[in-house]
Amino acid sequence: DAKTTQPTSMDCAEGRAANLPCNHSTISGNEYVYWYRQIHSQGPQYIIHGLKNNETNEMASLIITEDRKSSTLILPHATLRDTAVYYCIVGVPNAGNMLTFGGGTRLMVKP
């Protein structure tokens, strides 16, 4: 059973903001939202995570709705190197960080 739902693919113009949505309507109160990405031929890379507040780091921003049933990952100025598969995952940190990866969104940044 998938805990998250993401679009299969998205396109974004280079230099523009990439907004990647994720639905997690069955999220539990103690589950966090994690985002990873996987660039071709590499291992998944951690991007950001949050519980209920919006979060920002040097890579991206994470916007979580008030009811926590959905979130959006924002790459403010997408570059060609941001082309990757982006995974939205929910999980409980202290449960051994066991995270189940779904199909993700394939983001293609175009010049």
By beta-carbon proximity to other proteins, the closer residue of 67 and 94 is: 94
In this structure, what are the phi and psi dihedrals at residue 2, rounded to the nearest 5 degrees? -75, 130
Residue 39 · residue 84 · CB < 8 Å: yes
Pairing of strands 105-110, 9-13: parallel
Contact between 21 and other proteins by CB under 8 A: the answer reads no
Nearest residue to 33 via CA among 17, 44, 22, 20:
22
Contact between 46 and other proteins by CB under 8 A: the answer reads yes
Beta-bridged to residue 92, according to DSSP, are none
The C-alpha torsion from 23 through 27 and 31 to 33, rounded to 10°, is 0
By beta-carbon proximity to other proteins, the closer residue of 16 and 46 is: 46
State in angstroms the smallest separation of the CB of 16 from other proteins: 27
Contact map string, positions 60 to 89, toward other proteins, x by CB under 8 A: ---------------------------x--
Contact between 32 and other proteins by CB under 8 A: the answer reads yes
Binding site residues, other proteins, CB under 8 A? 32, 34, 36, 41-46, 49, 87, 93-94, 96-104
